[in-house]
Structure 1
Amino acid sequence: MCDNCSAIQLAKNSVFHEKSKYIDVRFHFLRDLVNDGVVELSYCNSQDQIADIMTKPKKLEQFEKLCGMLGVVEVAKENEEVSISEDPDIPIKALVKEVVTRFGYTVTYRRAWTAKQIAMSQIYGDWEGSYKELPRWLNAVQYYAPGFSFCKPILQVDGTFLTGKYAGTLLIASSQDGNRRIFPVAFAIVEGETREAWEWFFYNLRTNVTPQSNICIISYRGTGLLGALRTELPQWCDGQSVYCIRHVASNFNKEFRDNDLKEKLIEMGYELMRPRFERMLAVLRQKNSRATARLDKIPKEKWTQSYDDGRRYGHMTMNLAECVNEILKGARFLPITTLVRATYHRLNSWFVHHRNEATNMIRAGHV
């Protein structure tokens, strides 16, 4: 059954036309099947084209009609309703499309946005009330937060924008435990990635969470962040700040527009042997003196494994912090207390899962 008369005529007419002579040869196989009587083409109205149910969004009335023509008794719906509770960051355009698909009615963008705000308020509470509730909730949470004692003495720090009603930035510090699992250490919500915000974050991080000596902080080279580290890092006993090699290489690529240079810098950063690193640097100096002059301004211990004396524990990027950032991506649209609560519960389930895994390994005699 086909609702395209031109396609039917082309299949039955073996004569080449000006506009059909460019059709790929492999498609003429269908014409041979029609000529041999294996396939019979018949015209059907577009409203009765059953194949459309698999390829096109249909209005509810038309969808039910085609289901009946297929002999479908019941349709199992994976998601009967748009789940804002599970995906609060769902785009407004997706809501508009869902309404059209389910009800055959097109709502305006403004109405869909307003409806989403009402649903958000009913599920998570209003934005202003959420700020008032936050201190009480944090006061209860602080007594149950896990510690940093059994992690590597490294911290990867990063920031990400909040996308809700009020602007802000979520700062994240992450580490890795003895089982090589990501260990989120600290979160903070601030007005932006300013020097003052980072100073406040590092001060509280050092005072309340990670007072240990010999801490290595891995970060990008943001102006505000580096300024804050110059103030706060000396307060840590034997603390050190190093850079994410991927960010260093990307910055060089933006400046010099050279992907080969970017890949070479990453290779040099991961190199463990100093003699080999120096040979690679000498070769690069001959090929691109301007880039190496720029590179000489960055201390080697900040971006290479061969000169960091093992302080990084092999961590050359900010992947730990960025993984946590990606996991919390859907929560960044929520009111502040709901965001904090969602983060806490997600991490709690994470830690419980890891504890159960370790307990089972001990019981099985693997540890």
Structure 2
Amino acid sequence: MVKVLQQATEVDYGFRPSYRKVWMAKQKAIAQIYGDWEESYAELPRWMLRVQLTMAGTVTVLKTSPIKLGDQVDESTMYFHRLFWTFSPSIEAFRHCKPLVSIDGTHSYGKYGGTLLLAIAQDGNSNILPIAFALVEGENAESWSFFLSNLQSHVTPQVGILVISDRHNGIKAAHEAPENGWLPPRAFRAFCIRHVAANFSLSFKGKDARRMLVNAAYAKTEAEFYYWFDIMRTENPAMCDLANRMEYDKWTQHQNSGRQFGHMTTNISECVNSVLKGTRNLLVTSLVKSTYERLAELFVVRRQMAEAQMGIGAGSLRSTRQTGTEHPASVAYNGSHRRP
């Protein structure tokens, strides 16, 4: 965004301002449109309360911290630390989704920075569904524990959930903390093969090394897996040594017991990241509002699609009744007619 503004200024006015000047100008412009940056933090609890009052079941968890002045702590003044939020339609919808969650973090580019954490699910029709968000100070063990413990408590209490993520040490520590509720058999973890392959490429240059690892990861049978693994061993035994440092059930499809439903990456999280890219420059309350507004649009579209499918089904039912050929077992869920 800043680089785009620098280029536009250079084209229009013939000079290129520094990155810092453009960044400061952008923050002032955003404040003129959306309000004061500091006041936004004060508005946030009020806005969340209004949402909870109008949308029963919505969950928000706000953590604040006192201000420290040297060794002194001022308990009378608190500042924003972390926020977790999820909307009741997302909680309800996840009950009908695959028992799989993709999690990821992305930077916030507002005046005070921070990181936006996301949890994304997918239904049986491959529709992507954001189910939970958090604003934290950065990706570390404490912030991921805050996010995952609240995710487990409020959105994904089901047993057997699989989480796909990168291999960030903060996520690892949060998963392995017993109090967060993400240890087997309650929950399982898988690595995003795209991130694994990227790290693999740092040690073994060239596209072939990456390709062989990915092919081994996507192999659906043990025989196919060892076919690619033997090729890697022939090419460079060190490749196999590095791959063997990771538990097979966390990065190979043939040993994941079907829990990944064919999902080997966090791409569904990346899709949502791209949709929210413009909102990550906004004030804290505006950013949270944007997730509400975009999810509201999403649920309206999904409802219209469902009603359209039900309408087609109703029309088909009327048609078959008129001809006297209706057979209840031949009416599929999507309104089409086929024998079971």
TM surpasses 0.5: yes
8 Å contact from structure 2 (residues 149, 181) kept in 1: no
Which residue identity lines up with residue 363 of structure 1 in the other structure? G
Evaluate the alpha carbon distance shift between residue 215 and residue 111 of structure 1 in structure 2; reply closer, same or farther with a 3 A threshold.
closer
Residue correspondence of structure 1 range 27-176 to structure 2 within 5 A: 91-97=4-10, 99-100=12-13, 116-142=26-52, 143=56, 145=87, 146=89, 147=91, 148-176=94-122
| Contact persistence 1:89–1:330 (CA under 8 A) | no
Structure 2 vs 1, CA of residues 297 and 127 (structure 1 numbering), >3 Å: closer, same or farther?
Answer: same
Flag the 1:281–1:91 CA change in 2: closer, same or farther, 3 A: same
Q: Considering only CA atoms, is the larger Rg found in Structure 1 or Structure 2?
A: 1
Query: In structure 2, how many angstroms separate the alpha carbons of the residues matched to 1:99 and 1:121?
Result: 24
Q: Alpha-carbon deviation of 1:361?
A: 1.1
> How much has 1:114 moved relative to structure 2?
5.6
The Cα of 1:299 is off from its aligned counterpart by 1.0
What does residue 42 of structure 1 align with?
A: none
- Residue 137 of structure 1 deviates from its aligned partner by 1.6
Q: CA contact under 8 A between 2:100 and 2:260: conserved in structure 1? A: yes
| Structure richer in strand, relative to its length | 2
In structure 2, distance between residues paired with 1:352 and 1:204: 26
| 1:149-195 deviation digits (Å, cap 9, x = unpaired) | 11111010000111111120000110101321001011100000001
* Distance verdict in 2 for CA 1:201–1:111, change over 3 Å: closer
**Cα separation, 1, equivalents of 2:106 and 2:259:** 26
> 1: distance between equivalents of 2:233 and 2:268?
33
The 1:235/1:300 distance shift into structure 2, 3 A limit, reads: closer
- 1:107-128 deviation digits (Å, cap 9, x = unpaired): 9568766654443112111110
Match of 2:72 in 1: none
Q: Which segments of 5 or more consecutive residues in structure 2 lack a partner in the other structure? A: 59-86, 314-333, 336-340
| Distance change >3 Å, CA 129–CA 94, structure 1 → 2 | farther
Structure 2 residue corresponding to 1:345, chosen from 281, 286, 293: 293
Q: Kindly indicate whether the alpha-carbon contact (under 8 Å) linking 1:244 and 1:316 is maintained by their aligned counterparts in 2.
A: yes
| SS of match in other structure, 1:240 | strand
Residues 49-79 of structure 1: per-residue CA shift (max 9 Å, x gap): xxxxxxxxxxxxxxxxxxxxxxxxxxxxxxx
Find the counterpart in structure 2 of residue 205 from structure 1. Answer: 151
1:117–1:224 Cα change, 3 Å = closer
Cα distance change of structure 1 residues 188 and 287 upon mapping to structure 2, 3 Å threshold: same
Runs of 4+ in structure 1 over 4 Å off: 105-115, 233-237
TM-fit CA distance, 1:288? 1.2
- Answer yes or no: is the 8 Å Cα contact 1:253–1:261 preserved in 2: yes
Aligned match for 1:216, one of 162, 181, 185: 162
Q: Secondary structure at the match of 2:116?
A: strand
Task: Tell me how far apart the structure 2 counterparts of residues 318 and 97 of structure 1 sit (CA, whole Å).
Answer: 38
**1:315 paired residue number:** 263
Instruction: Supply the distance in 1 between the matched residues of 2:17 and 2:228 (Cα, whole angstroms).
Output: 59
SS at match of 1:306: coil
**Inter-CA distance 95–284: structure 2 relative to 1 (3 Å threshold):** closer
Residues 96 and 233 of structure 1: CA distance in aligned 2, closer, same or farther (over 3 Å): same
Does 1:259 find its partner at 2:190? no
Report if aligned partners of 2:103, 2:269 keep a CA contact under 8 Å in 1: yes
Matched, 1:191 2:158: no
Q: Percent identity?
A: 41
Secondary structure class of the residue paired with 1:216: strand
Secondary structure of the 2:159 match is coil
Question: In the alignment, residue 139 of structure 1 is paired with which amino acid?
Answer: L
Inter-partner Cα distance in structure 2 for 1:229 and 1:285: 32
Matched residue count: 276
Q: Name the amino acid aligned to 2:309.
A: M
Q: Distance in 1 between matches of 2:256 and 2:22?
A: 53
Q: CA 1:116–1:161 in 2, change beyond 3 Å: closer, same or farther?
A: closer
Give the root-mean-square deviation of aligned CA atoms.
2.2
8 Å Cα contact 1:195-1:227 kept in structure 2? yes
How far apart in 2 are the matches of 1:338 and 1:90?
23
